Amino acid sequence: MSFFDRLFGRKNSAESAKERLQLVLIHDRTDLTPAELDSLKDDLIAAISRHVEIDAKSMQIGVEHDGRSQRLVADIPIKSAPRRRARKTK
Amino acid sequence: MPAQVITITSGKGGVGKTTAVANLAVALASNGSKVVCIDGDIGLRNLDVILGLENRIVYDIVDVIEGRCRLKQAMIRDKKLPNLYLIPAAQTRDKNAVSPSDMTRLIKELRAGYDFVLIDSPAGIERGFRNAIAAADRVLVITNPEVSAVRDADRVIGILEAEEKGPAALIINRLNPNLVKKHDMLSADDVLDLLAVELIGIVPEDENVIIGSNRGAPVAHDTKSKAGQAFRNIARRLQGETVPFLDLESQGSLWERLQRLTGRK
C-alpha cells in the first residue's frame, strides 16, 4: 500500500480481500444469494406481522458465522403494546 | 502401528500440493519414518519429477490396479532416502481408470508395512479428488493467502466435513511476510479467521522451492531454506511432536534480529 493510498484513506488490499471473502464464503456455505435473503426477509415480516405488530423498516436480517457454522440472525423491533392500545382507543 | 494415511488437497490448482507432498515425504523419511507417497493425479503425473525419480518408472498405479504388476514392483525407492517410496500416477490414462474402492484396497495393502502413506490429490472436487480422499485417515488442505485459493479451500473443507473426512488441517503456503507487513497480503490469522480450521503449518515464499524442483531435490533436504524448515516442522507435527510455528517476521530491524540472535526475544 502506498503512502498516497493511506493519505487518501483508501483501504489496504489485504483488508478488502478479507471483507470480500467473508461475504463470498457466507454465500458459498449457505447457498443463499442476497436476493434470496431479501425474499426470506419479506416472508418473515409477513409471518410475524400476523401475530404482532413490528417495525419492518428497522428490521435487520443477516448471516453470521461462528467457526464453520452459519446462523441466520434477525433483529426485529416490536412496536410497544401500550402505544398500540392507546392508538386503538383514540 | 499401522500407517497414517494422509491426503493433501486444495481445490484450486497450483497452490503447491505436489511440492508439499514431496517435501513432507522427504522430511518424514529423513526423520526416520517409513513413507510411501502416491501420485493421485492420473494423466498429469508430476510427483515423480519433483522427487527426481522420473527416470526410474517402469510400472504405475493403474498397472497395479489392473493386475499387470505386483504392488512392490510399482514402488520406486528414493535415491537418497532408502525408507521413502513413490507409487507414480499413470500418464496415458485418465482419472476414471481408478475408483475410490481401488484406492482403498491398494492402501489397505500398504498400511501394515509403513508409517505414513501420503496421497497427492489432483486439483478440483471430482473423481480424482474422491479417489484421493477415499482411504485417508487425515486430510491436509493447502492454500495460498490469496482470494481464489482461500475460497476453493473453503469449498473443499466443507465437502470434507460433509463426507466425514474432517476436521481438515490447514497448510498456508507461499506466505510473503513483507507483503503481509505492508497489508497487501492476507495474514495467516486472516486466513484462519476465514476458514476456521486447525492450522498445521505456514510455509513462507522461498525461491529455493523452485531451485529444488528444478533439480528434483525437494527443499526439505536443504537445511538453510526457510520453506524447507517449515515443511520439516509440519512433518514433526504429523509425527506427533509439538513444534512452535516459525517466526516469519524476521525482516525486522537490525536490533530486533540481534535480540533474537542473542535469545532475548
- A40 and A75 together in one domain: yes
Q: What is the mean pLDDT of residues B197-224?
A: 97
Residue span of the structural domain in which A65 resides: 33-90
Mean pLDDT of chain B: 93
Q: What is the mean pLDDT of residues B22-36?
A: 98
Beta carbons of B151 and A28 less than 8 Å apart: yes
The pLDDT assigned to B95 comes to 83
The pLDDT assigned to B182 comes to 94
Tell me the CATH number at B226. Answer: 3.40.50.300
- A21 and A57 together in one domain: no
| pLDDT over threshold 90, residue B63 | yes
Number of domains in chain B: 1
Which residues of chain A neighbour B162 with C-beta distances below 8 Å?
A: none
In 3-state terms chain B splits into helix, strand, coil percentages (rounded to 5) of: 45, 15, 40
The pLDDT assigned to B163 comes to 93
Strand B76-77 relative to strand A69-75: parallel, antiparallel, unpaired? unpaired
Interface probe with B: pick from A24, A25, A30, most Cβ of B within 10 Å: A25
Q: What is the mean pLDDT of residues B116-128?
A: 97
The pLDDT assigned to A84 comes to 65
Residue span of the structural domain in which B217 resides: 4-261
Dist CA B53 CA B18 (whole Å): 14
- Name the closest residue on chain B to residue A2, using Cα atoms: B182
- Name the closest residue on chain B to residue A12, using Cα atoms: B183
Interaxial angle between packed helices B147-162 and B188-195, expressed in degrees from 0 to 180 and rounded to the nearest 10: 40
Which residues of chain A neighbour B154 with C-beta distances below 8 Å?
A: 25, 28-29
Helix (H) or strand (E) holding B142: strand B138-143
Q: What is the mean pLDDT of residues A3-24?
A: 82
Is residue A17 within 8 angstroms of chain B, CB to CB? Answer: yes
Question: Distances in Å between the alpha carbon of A46 and those of A52, A53, A77, B73?
Answer: 10, 10, 14, 69
- A41 and A83 together in one domain: yes
- A74 and A37 together in one domain: yes
Model confidence pLDDT, tens digit, residues B156-202: 999 999 999 979 999 999 999 999 999 999 999 999 999 999 999 99
| pLDDT over threshold 50, residue B265 | no
Nearest in space to B7 (alpha carbons), one of B35, B27, B28, B37: B37
Please name every residue paired with B36 in a beta bridge, in sequence order, or none if there are none: B85, B117
Q: What is the mean pLDDT of residues B228-246?
A: 95
Number of domains in chain A: 2
Q: How close, in Å, is residue A81 to chain B by CA atoms?
A: 42
Q: How close, in Å, is residue B148 to chain A by CA atoms?
A: 9
- A24 and A37 together in one domain: no
Which residues of chain B neighbour A15 with C-beta distances below 8 Å?
A: 183
Is residue A13 within 8 angstroms of chain B, CB to CB? Answer: yes
More confident residue, B235 or A74: B235
* pTM for the whole structure: 0.86
- Using a pLDDT cut of 90, give the percent of chain B over it: 89
